[in-house]
Chains A and B, each alone.
Chain A
Amino acid sequence: MNNLDSLPKKKILSLFMTCGFPTLNHSKKIFNEMLSHQPDIIEFGLPFSDPMADGPIIQEANKLALRSKLSTQQSLDLIKYLSKSKNNTSFVIMCYLNTVRKFGLNKFIKNIKNIVDGIIIVDLPFEEEDAIKKSLSKNDIHLIKLISPMTDKKRSQKLLKNSKGFIYYISATGITGSNKLDYKEINKNVKSIKKMSSVPVLVGFGIKSKKDVIDISKKTNADGVIIGSALIQKYFDIKMDFNKYLKSLKKFIQEVKI
Chain B
Amino acid sequence: MKTYKQPSTVGRFGEFGGMYVSETLMPLLLDLDKSYKKIQKDKKFKKELNDLFKNYVGRPSSLHYAKNLSKYINGPKVYFKRDELNHTGAHKINNCLGQILLAKKMGKTRIIAETGAGQHGVATATVCALFGLPCYIYMGSKDIERQKPNVFRMKLLGATIIPVESGSKSLKDAMNEALRDWIKNVRDTFYIIGSTAGPHPYPKMVRDFQSVIGKEAREQILKVEKKLPDYLIACVGGGSNAMGLFYPFLNDNKVKIIGVEAAGRGAKTEETAATMTSGTPGILHGSYSYVLQDNDGQIKEAHSISAGLDYPGVGPEHSYLKDIKRVKYFGVTDNEALKAFQTCSKLEGIIPALEPSHALAYLIKAFKNKHKNKVVILNLCGRGDKDLFTAAKAIGFDADE
A residues apposed to B, CB below 8 Å:
48-50, 52-53, 55, 59, 63, 66, 71-72, 96-99, 101-103, 122-128, 145-148, 150-152, 155, 159, 170, 173-174, 176
Bound CA–CA A103/B18 (angstroms) = 20
**Contact among B10, B21, B27, B297 with A123 in the assembled complex (CB-CB below 8 Å):** B21
**Can you give 20 contacting A-B residue pairs, CB < 8 Å?**
A49-B167, A50-B284, A52-B176, A53-B22, A53-B24, A98-B284, A101-B283, A102-B293, A102-B295, A102-B297, A123-B21, A126-B23, A127-B19, A128-B18, A148-B23, A150-B28, A173-B183, A173-B184, A174-B187, A176-B188
B residues apposed to A, CB below 8 Å:
10, 18-28, 166-167, 172, 176, 179-180, 183-188, 282-286, 293, 295-299
CB–CB A125/B299 < 8 A: no
Bound CA–CA A188/B19 (angstroms) = 28
List B contacts of A125 (CB < 8 A).
19-23, 26
**Contact among B180, B186, B282 with A52 in the assembled complex (CB-CB below 8 Å):** B180
List A contacts of B22 (CB < 8 A).
52-53, 122-123, 125, 146, 148, 170
| Number of CB contacts from chain A to chain B under 8 A | 110
- Nearest chain A residue, comparing its CB with the CB of B284: A50
List B contacts of A96 (CB < 8 A).
283
Bound CA–CA A2/B29 (angstroms) = 34
Distance between A154 CB and nearest chain B CB, rounded to angstroms? 10
List B contacts of A98 (CB < 8 A).
282-284, 293, 297, 299
Interface centre among B179, B183, B282, B286 (most CB of A within 10 A): B183
CB–CB B297/A148 < 8 A: no
* 4 smallest beta-carbon distances between A and B, as pairs: A102-B297, A53-B22, A49-B298, A98-B297
Bound CA–CA A146/B26 (angstroms) = 11
- What 18 additional pairs, Cβ within 8 angstroms, besides A170-B23, A173-B24, A176-B188? A49-B298, A52-B21, A52-B285, A59-B166, A72-B296, A96-B283, A98-B283, A103-B297, A125-B20, A125-B21, A125-B26, A126-B26, A127-B10, A127-B26, A150-B26, A150-B186, A155-B27, A176-B184
Distance between B388 CB and nearest chain A CB, rounded to angstroms? 32
Interface centre among B166, B172, B283 (most CB of A within 10 A): B283
Interface centre among B18, B21, B184, B298 (most CB of A within 10 A): B298
Bound CA–CA A126/B167 (angstroms) = 29
Bound CA–CA A150/B24 (angstroms) = 6
Distance between B87 CB and nearest chain A CB, rounded to angstroms? 31
CB–CB B20/A123 < 8 A: yes
CB–CB A124/B20 < 8 A: yes
Bound CA–CA A186/B282 (angstroms) = 35
Bound CA–CA A173/B26 (angstroms) = 14
Distance between B17 CB and nearest chain A CB, rounded to angstroms? 11
Distance between B100 CB and nearest chain A CB, rounded to angstroms? 20
Bound CA–CA A170/B19 (angstroms) = 19
List A contacts of B19 (CB < 8 A).
125, 127-128
CB–CB A50/B184 < 8 A: no
List B contacts of A49 (CB < 8 A).
167, 298-299
CB–CB A151/B187 < 8 A: no
List B contacts of A59 (CB < 8 A).
166
Bound CA–CA A176/B184 (angstroms) = 7
CB–CB A97/B23 < 8 A: no
CB–CB B28/A123 < 8 A: no
List A contacts of B167 (CB < 8 A).
49-50
CB–CB A99/B24 < 8 A: no
CB–CB B20/A97 < 8 A: yes
Bound CA–CA A97/B23 (angstroms) = 14
**Contact among B27, B184, B186, B284 with A152 in the assembled complex (CB-CB below 8 Å):** B27
- Nearest chain A residue, comparing its CB with the CB of B21: A123
Distance between B21 CB and nearest chain A CB, rounded to angstroms? 6
List B contacts of A170 (CB < 8 A).
22-24
- Nearest chain A residue, comparing its CB with the CB of B178: A52
List A contacts of B172 (CB < 8 A).
50
List B contacts of A63 (CB < 8 A).
166
List B contacts of A50 (CB < 8 A).
167, 172, 176, 284-285, 299
List B contacts of A48 (CB < 8 A).
297-298
